[in-house]
Amino acid sequence: MPELVVTALLAPSRLTLKLLRAFMWSLVFSAALVAAAVYGCIALTHVLCRPRRGCCGRPRRTPPACLSDPTLGEHCFLTLRSSGLRLHYVSAGRGNGPLMLFLHGFPENWFSWRYQLREFQSRFHVVAVDLRGYGSSDAPRDVDCYTIDLLMADIQDVILGLGYSKCILVAHDWGALLAWNFSIYYPSLVERMAVVSAAPMSVYQDYSLHHMGQFFRSNYMFLFQLPWLPEKLLSMSDFQILKTTLTHHKRGIPHLTPNELEAFLYGFSQPGGLTGPLNYYRNLFRTFPLEPQELATPTLLLWGEKDPYFEQGLVGAISSRFVPGRLEAHILPGVGHWIPQSNPKEMHQYMWAFLQDLLD
């Protein structure tokens, strides 16, 4: 068929897609402005209630001692083949078994896996990375440096750079979103997955379009689409919004000590420390709309019944996309979003059972 004819036949579809994307972006930025007004009021309230903290975040000059805990593993750096960036990671148990690679979420870093690093190093080579933009890893400032494709390439480079041909991928929140995508596009590199509190992007997109309550739970994502303002609001009153997110008595991490809280705030308090992590969100809507994808990697999915950010209905939506028999899902009653830190014993029990056949 002549190219001109093909172009003419596809023109209506392309025009419709462009109009759909334009409509979507108008909604996103409208929601972003509303979210900015709400979070601006919250940040201003924090400043007025704690005037001594001021309007900026206090830079931390010395990392807290818990980041150097030798029981968690050895601190290393790996130069990525694809990008040349250096990623920081903590490694333990080399030579004890297969590679178990941990991917953290926001607003966290490698330290969010402290319980799992101790638990699994006896039978696995456990590695928890600081994703690009976080902690001691390189943090390019350009938004285009945080596309899903580039972040997946980072995971591939870590696995191969550590000398492995496959891994057990354990991931939470943003790390889990990356893990879902990685298992679809690099299936040969993932033997098993343990995913906590996150859905694949295509599932989340479709579910949110039919369940408006999920949009309200994800309101912060719209704020993060704006330039520079989110960094300012999150740092006001010495990062009080982040502190509240991590320590709230209902929505935060139970029993998080002040020292452990500083382990997360330390990286964000460095110059430009928030820009890289927020750039992940600024790329979220660039691939809209997404096609449904079939999921086939053997996966353990753990979900908190009381997760304030993601509705429980997403678990059923994820299950509907899986090849039968490949997904083992558990909803933990009374549990929130931060399962690796709030309920490590339950998580470990499910993981040991899920991985038992690999160890026999």
182 and 85 housed in the same domain = yes
What per-residue confidence (pLDDT) applies to 52?
85
* Known catalytic residue at 89: no
| Same domain for 85 and 172 | yes
**Residue-range definition of the domain harbouring residue 11:** 1-52
> Does some domain include residue 326?
yes
Do residue 182 and residue 131 come from a single domain? yes
Could you tell me if 37 and 99 lie in one domain?
no
3 state SS of 63: coil
- Are 132 and 6 within one domain? no
Catalytic site residue from 157, 173, 238, 307: 173
Structure confidence at residue 29 (pLDDT): 83
Tell me if 242 is assigned to some domain: no
Q: Is the domain of 131 the same as that of 33?
A: no
Whole-prediction pTM: 0.94
24, 30, 31, 32: CA torsion to nearest 10: 110
Burial 156-188 (b: 16+ CB within 10 A, else e): bbbbeebebeebbbbbbbbbbbbbbbbbbebee
In the chain (360 residues long), the average pLDDT of successive 10-residue segments reads 55 62 77 93 92 88 96 98 98 96 98 98 98 98 97 98 98 98 97 97 92 91 96 96 96 97 98 97 84 92 98 97 96 98 98 94
Catalytic annotation on 337?
Answer: yes
What pLDDT does 12 receive? 61
pLDDT for the residue 224: 97
Statement to judge: residues 43 and 88 lie in one domain: no
- Of the residues 281, 307, 309, 350, only one is catalytic, namely 281
Catalytic residue of the set 46, 104, 172, 337: 337
